[in-house]
Amino acid sequence: MVKVTFVSSDGTRREVAVAEGETAREAALFNNVPGIDGDCGGVCACATCHVHVDPAWIDRVGRLEQGNAEAELLQFAEGANEYSRLACQIPMLTKLEGLILHVPEQQY
């Protein structure tokens, strides 16, 4: 299992764990983390799994690549910034043990 912490906009921290190779979206959904809906089933088509990667983690997770499908979707998401990623596009590998993701305030 790989651990990941979701921090909501009011500061609440939820540490959850997911099997290695599942995505951060699954980690949120399996543990009912509020603000991560994942409507499209995790295929990068809805942006309801938008997160801000903690700045300390962004380089290990990887930044958004301009022009790819993920960036195309995120340009319309409220509150998108340089730390924005889609949780369904972050596979939870062991190198991400302890990852911190912030749930944007605008999502409910």
Partner 1 sequence: MSTDTIEPDMMEPDTAEKIATIPIGDIDVARPSLYQKDTIGLFFDRLRKEEPVHYCRESYVGPYWSITKFNDIMAVETNHKVFSSEAKLGGIAIQDMHSVEGALELEMFIAMDPPKHDQQRKAVSPAVAPSNLLLLEPTIRERACQILDDLPVGEDIDWVDKVSIELTTMTLATLFDFPWEERRKLTRWSDITTAAPETGIVESYEARRQELIECAMYFKGLWDQRVNEEPKNDLISIMAHSPATQNMPFLEFLGNLLLLIVGGNDTTRNSISGGVLALNQNPDEYRKLNDDPSLIASMVPEIIRWQTPLTHMRRTALQDWEIGGKQIRKGEKVVMWYLSGNRDDTVIDRADQFIIDRQNPRHHLSFGFGIHRCMGNRLAELQLRIVWEEIHKRFRKIEVTGEPERLLSNFVRGITKLPVRLHAR
Single out the residue of 15, 20, 39, 82 in contact with partner 1 (rule: CB under 8 A): 39
Does 77 bind ligand FES (CB under 6 A)? Our answer is: no
Does 89 bind partner 1 (CB under 8 A)? Our answer is: no
Binding mask 2-41 for ligand FES (x = CB under 6 A): -----------------------x------------xxx-
* Residue 73 backbone dihedrals phi, psi, to 5 degrees: -75, -40
Does 82 bind partner 1 (CB under 8 A)? Our answer is: no
Contact stretch for partner 1 (CB under 8 A) within 10-18, 19-27, 32-40, 85-93: 32-40
Does 69 bind ligand FES (CB under 6 A)? Our answer is: no
DSSP H helical ranges for the chain: 24-30, 58-61, 69-74
**Torsion angle, CA of 37/42/45/48, rounded to 10 degrees?**
20
| Interatomic CA distance for residues 59 and 42, integer angstroms | 22
